[in-house]
Structure 1
Amino acid sequence: MRSGTSFFNSTLYRKTMLRFWPLWAAYGLMWLYLVPFNLLNSYFSMRGAQTSSVELANRLVEYARDIPNTLQFGTFAACGYGVLCAMAVFGYLYNNRSACMMHALPMRRETLFGTQYLAGLSFALLPNLVVAGITLAAELPLVPQKCWGTSLASLGIWLLALSGVNLFFFSFAAFCAMFTGHILALPAFYGILNMLAYVLYVLITGVMNDFFFGFSMRSGRGNTLTQILTPIWPLTEAVEWDPVQETVNGMTATTGEWYLLSPGTVAAYAAAGVVLAVLALLVYRQRQVESAGDVVSVRLVRPVFLYGVAFCSGLCFGVYTIAFFGWRNRLSLAVCVVVWAVVGYFVARMLLCKSFRVLKYWKGAAVSFVAMTVLCVACFTDVMGITAWVPQADEVVSVDVDCRINYPYDSGDSTRYQVTDPGQIEKIVALHQAVLDHRDTVDTSSSHYQGGEEYTRLDVTYTLTDGRTVRRCYYDIPIHMEDLNAEGTVTWALNQIAQNRDAVEDMYDFDRFEEYRLVEAYLDRAGTQSGQTETDTNEPFYLEGASNAQLKELWQAVRADFDAGTIGVRYLFDDQQRQENTYVTDLVFVFEVPSRNSVSDATESYSTDLRITLTPNAEHTLAWLTQYAGWGETVFPILHEVR
């Protein structure tokens, strides 16, 4: 018994395939050159170079195994090719005569859509299948029989992954095609929707960073939802072809096997492609033939288009305008956002009406004006309490903190470290609170901003007991010497951290360096004495005569002086106390770190160093230098003497 509803017409399918044969032929030819022709070219090149049969076989096996390495390129190609296929098979929707002719055929809409959709999908899947078949025919006689399993598995992974990516991007393009009646609007909508989540994330966080003092979101590609809604990135990562690795005796090595990084992600997006195809069919069933030529063909979506363009225009051009003119105050940002939102509304209305006479739609522009004004006022008044937020110390599990403690300029100056000790967390929270309590004088955009003798920064990422992570960043915070003993000030709170020896030890990160192998040490900017003349040189003085055991003794001497509080002392200001108690000479330890990326050579490594400024009170360290380095007559210049 015949079905009452047919979703496929073979005649229309063949006509569509033949009409657009240059499109799928060019796509197939591209992959022929990238995969089987490249394999054959490598074979004949190596054979012509008189390569041994064993080496030739091994090279061919490696090439066949690495075919999935082309998938990342294939993902970008599928993204662009998908919209071209959709423009080809659904192009009749964008011309009145073509639309009327096609819909006058004795076919149901389900049949028309299903046939064109399958034809467009065949533009990608059939060439993939042909390329895989030709590659298989080339591999079987060239690759040793014992390696067929590896090479054929790699070829199968390539075919399935690339076809899944093609399915998603074409379905997404077909879905976008149902909402427009203009051929040029389709690639525009497709490209915008592919990147919309990420662009909105960047714009919204950028505006919030300007509105809310200290607010900061994670950089890069945004949160998990943003990445999911920006498919090109997770798919590109998912098809990465990586070797299987295992760790033996602390070293990482490959096992000879390879795998696709996340086949589940590819399968999920392929399933999403099927869902998008079904949704596209549902929209197509309700689409009006007369909408051909309209920028937005579905009336229910037009308000979304109007106010979406207004919102995005306000954020995008508002941020760009203040950046272009160098305006830094929040009022300028708010005015630019509101003005550009209104402009964006009128531009969107022009596209819908296909006319410049759109001032009569001022009511819609007024809605955009009011909505953006309300949002800006809400940001000004901080109704959500974003700027004033400071956690309670008992709500914090850990803090990743970078609070610059200025002097001396050694490894302790780079103060990014993680804090889990409740006592240290309280000091960091107190510093955060002090910054907000004195916001008017430390915020560079404030009219009451006051410069200081020195400046610091505070970059904190809290991990809270409820699992959330919250980041706040404050840069160019002025500190004043007169506030050192004034409790509650930024300078006082920062000094509490500088005087906390546990916090300073974490800044130098001694424990991490002790896991590495100490290979050498030298003095940088060492002063020497010749007769009655004191000199300062930038040439490093290497402690070449010291054995490994003696270098370890020097390290222990530094640790002993640090524990005694005579070395590694931090200063907020370059004052007399700092100058009289700090040498210009730095002691630099060089460590060897095993390479985590080592494949076969366990000796691979790289070097890193720890720099610590010497002081006149570093008894154990200076004694070692005097005893073992021949520095009995050495003068380490004190800072104020050099100046």
Structure 2
Amino acid sequence: MSWEVRTMQSKTSYFNATLFRKNLTRFWPLWGLASFIGALFPLAVLLDMVHRGWNVLSAPDFTGMYYDAVSAVPVINLVYAALCAMAVWSYLYNARSVGLMHTLPIRREGLFLTNFLSGLSMTLIPYAVTGVLCVVVSLCGGAFDAKGLAVTVLAVLGESFFYFSSATFVAFITGNAFTMPPLYALLHFLAVLLDWLISSFAQGFIFGFSTYYTGVVEWLSPTVYLVNNVRCARQYVEVQQTFPDGTPYTSRLLTSADLESFWLIGVYALVGLALAALALILYRRRRSETAGDVVAVGWLRPVFRYGVAGLCALLGGQFLYSLFWYGFQQGEYYDTLPMVVCLLAAGAIGYYGASMLLAKAFKVFRGSWKGLGIVLAGCALVCCVLHFDLLGVADRVPEASQIQTLEIRIADNTYTLTPEKDADLLEQVRALHQTVVADESYVREMEARRSSTWSEDETPNTAYTGLNLTYTLKSGTRIDRWYSLLITRDRLAQPETYDYLLDQFVNSDTVKARRLHLDDDFWTVSGGSLYIDTRGEGYELGSREGDAILKAVGRDLTAGNWGDYDWFSGDSGSSYAMDLGLDFESADKERYDWISVHVTPAMTETVDCLERLGLVTRADLVTYRQLYPEDYGADGSSIWQEVPHTGENAVVYTEDTTSAMVSPA
């Protein structure tokens, strides 16, 4: 007789429908409130269409709104996906809850997949509700666009999956509910934060380094990178229309909308898949006893300890230095030894603070000298590398073949040079840059001397000027340099000095013409303005008047009555009491520029032109010093504000590619 009892073979289940429904019903206020908020936007569009007409919005208009929403999804999901992840994985942070969940007849793979899908569903429900309402509204207005809707759905799915996966990954790194949000934020913004911290710190050591943010590894900060690169590009056409009274006007009609860099969302979705797989691996090996720990993964504990120490050293060290030593600093750059001390103090605080969080106790000092020694050695090493510029950052002057554009800001003027059009000028600037770098010790000595005297007063034979260089390389890399340079009359006559090279560049005939966009097909005069102080009256100038005035200033330039920059003079009262401005428009009508010309008695061509146009009379030709004698000193400079070092005849301010303050020889 056989006593065997037949039993049913159990099957391995990777999904539990009961738990899935439980999560959705338990956390319905979260996705319900988000759905309600999302539904307000299509309802607002519907109300606008009811008031203005059902056909007021076209299919491209709706598509543009969809793509604008896609551009905003990273910011929304950064918060909302994290809330959904914290909801479904909240049991991991309590010892009793995690013990109960792990006693259920569900494998960890099943728990992971069920909770992951339920959390992802909660993330997507508000978008689904909002999307359905948007489709209904677009159908009501006869503006449905299937392609735009499909692209939007795929984009929202990809972005939501990535953000929920990244939040899930962080949820398995930590066992503490209060630690999860800051670690999650750090994961998304660590690259940007380090870029800013290291760049700002390096400025205090490296000669001429003026970059606050390089953006080289911005792709490691997904939210910043997606917001900056995934955007809606709209195409318009100009349409002639008329008002009800018959007055014609030109309007812009949207013809199409495209989502730029859509492929990036696919890349981050694949990254999200990798993070989800890594989270599953961590979950399979996770010990239930780690509930409540700041870091639940053993091999990440040293990374957390030294990472916090490094961040505290960079951020706290600069704070301590500015608090206790910045006022005693000599020159523009950090004093190395005090900075090392401040970094050591801040790094030690960060090291022991992280150790206390990991140990959940205050007694962490015994046997910690080795780890502390590593932190202190790292701080000293960073300062030495920057102080001695072992990476050669200060000496770097890009080769002409590497440069795409070079923007130079000097003498209150900005010029953009390209190798194709400005090869000679580009070489001049490169030679100037190399000379400044070679004179680093002299420049630093002059800066320190200026700082130690607590005065910015300059003699008639000296002046300070700022030199800013921005290289954009063909590789996409951007290099920024800024120098505060002392100009002396003696060195202006010495060809091997940067003083001489600066003067040769700024006062060359080619650069003078560039200030006025002369013989420049890219810019055309679109108008301008003129204000007469003696009469308190202003005029708006048309394109023809502006073009005539510009040509007159150009003739003054050719005659030598306008354009030479005087590095030392402070006379600002010899120009006529009028404000003359000219506006420029680029050939593609996408960029605008302006110049403000201070007219002086030597500029006879410009004065004659203004008189012929009937804009000024002889009675208006009064200088500022004659009109406001009480506002000027014996040397002609204003007593109310420090003025730039200009000559007596003309000043030009501009934006974008031409911003100059100049004077005749």
Aligned 8 A contact 2:552 2:605 in 1: yes
Aligned 8 A contact 1:241 1:259 in 2: yes
TM (norm. structure 2) is 0.77
Equivalent position of 1:460 in the other structure: 469
Equivalent position of 1:363 in the other structure: 370
- Kindly provide the CA deviation profile for residues 115-151 of structure 1, in whole angstroms up to 9, marking residues without a partner as x: 11111111122443344445555665x344xx4x43x
Equivalent position of 2:357 in the other structure: 351
Aligned 8 A contact 2:531 2:537 in 1: yes
| Superposed displacement of residue 518, structure 1 | 5.6
Measured at CA, do residues 383 and 626 of structure 1 come closer, stay the same or move farther in structure 2, by a change above 3 Å? same
Measured at CA, do residues 461 and 297 of structure 1 come closer, stay the same or move farther in structure 2, by a change above 3 Å? same
Measured at CA, do residues 562 and 115 of structure 1 come closer, stay the same or move farther in structure 2, by a change above 3 Å? same
Aligned 8 A contact 1:419 1:425 in 2: yes
Q: Distance in 1 between matches of 2:59 and 2:395?
A: 62
- AA aligned to 2:215 is N
Equivalent position of 2:300 in the other structure: 301
Equivalent position of 1:488 in the other structure: 496
SS of the residue 1:443 aligns to = helix
SS of the residue 1:416 aligns to = strand
Q: Distance in 1 between matches of 2:345 and 2:426?
A: 44
Equivalent position of 1:471 in the other structure: 480
Q: Distance in 2 between matches of 1:275 and 1:307?
A: 26
Structure 2 residue runs of 5 or longer lacking an equivalent are 1-7, 241-249, 626-633, 638-665
Aligned 8 A contact 1:172 1:277 in 2: yes
Aligned length: 593
Measured at CA, do residues 167 and 597 of structure 1 come closer, stay the same or move farther in structure 2, by a change above 3 Å? farther
Candidates 557, 569, 576, aligned match of 1:562: 557
Equivalent position of 2:156 in the other structure: 162
Measured at CA, do residues 552 and 387 of structure 1 come closer, stay the same or move farther in structure 2, by a change above 3 Å? closer
Equivalent position of 2:173 in the other structure: 179
Q: Distance in 2 between matches of 1:281 and 1:446?
A: 57
Q: Which moved more, 1:416-425 or 1:496-505?
A: 416-425
SS of the residue 1:401 aligns to = strand
- Kindly provide the CA deviation profile for residues 393-445 of structure 1, in whole angstroms up to 9, marking residues without a partner as x: 787665311112xxxxxxxx423332643443343234334433443453389
- Kindly provide the CA deviation profile for residues 508-533 of structure 1, in whole angstroms up to 9, marking residues without a partner as x: 433459842464675867xxxxxxxx
Q: Distance in 2 between matches of 1:635 and 1:75?
A: 59
Candidates 34, 39, 42, aligned match of 1:32: 39
Aligned 8 A contact 2:577 2:621 in 1: no
- AA aligned to 1:510 is L
Q: Distance in 2 between matches of 1:548 and 1:294?
A: 70
Q: Distance in 1 between matches of 2:589 and 2:545?
A: 31
SS of the residue 2:563 aligns to = coil
Measured at CA, do residues 400 and 611 of structure 1 come closer, stay the same or move farther in structure 2, by a change above 3 Å? same
Q: Distance in 2 between matches of 1:445 and 1:358?
A: 48
Candidates 508, 514, 518, aligned match of 1:506: 514
Aligned 8 A contact 1:39 1:63 in 2: no
Q: Equivalences for 1:292-441 in 2 at 5 Å?
A: 292-324=291-323, 326-327=326-327, 328=329, 329-331=334-336, 332-360=338-366, 361-391=368-398, 398-404=405-411, 413-418=412-417, 420=419, 421-441=422-442
Q: Distance in 1 between matches of 2:57 and 2:473?
A: 53
Aligned 8 A contact 2:523 2:584 in 1: no
Measured at CA, do residues 566 and 137 of structure 1 come closer, stay the same or move farther in structure 2, by a change above 3 Å? closer
| Superposed displacement of residue 157, structure 1 | 4.4
Equivalent position of 1:56 in the other structure: 54
| Superposed displacement of residue 93, structure 1 | 1.3
Q: Distance in 1 between matches of 2:127 and 2:540?
A: 64
| Superposed displacement of residue 615, structure 1 | 5.4
Q: Equivalences for 1:590-609 in 2 at 5 Å?
A: 590-591=582-583, 593=585, 608-609=594-595
Candidates 5, 16, 19, aligned match of 2:26: 19
SS of the residue 1:12 aligns to = helix
Measured at CA, do residues 484 and 238 of structure 1 come closer, stay the same or move farther in structure 2, by a change above 3 Å? closer
Structure 1 residue runs of 5 or longer lacking an equivalent are 405-412, 526-536, 599-604
Q: Distance in 2 between matches of 1:34 and 1:2?
A: 52
- 1:92 and 2:91 equivalent? yes
- Kindly provide the CA deviation profile for residues 592-641 of structure 1, in whole angstroms up to 9, marking residues without a partner as x: 6489789xxxxxx988444154353x564455567776867886659889
Aligned 8 A contact 2:410 2:468 in 1: yes
- Kindly provide the CA deviation profile for residues 429-476 of structure 1, in whole angstroms up to 9, marking residues without a partner as x: 34334433443453389644586432101111235688754321113x
Q: Distance in 1 between matches of 2:543 and 2:34?
A: 63
Aligned 8 A contact 1:27 1:124 in 2: no
Aligned 8 A contact 2:549 2:609 in 1: yes
- AA aligned to 2:597 is R
Measured at CA, do residues 192 and 252 of structure 1 come closer, stay the same or move farther in structure 2, by a change above 3 Å? farther
Measured at CA, do residues 333 and 569 of structure 1 come closer, stay the same or move farther in structure 2, by a change above 3 Å? same
Q: Distance in 2 between matches of 1:513 and 1:60?
A: 37
TM (norm. structure 1) is 0.80
| Superposed displacement of residue 370, structure 1 | 0.7
Measured at CA, do residues 190 and 393 of structure 1 come closer, stay the same or move farther in structure 2, by a change above 3 Å? closer
What CA RMSD, in Å, does the superposition of the two structures yield over aligned residues?
4.0
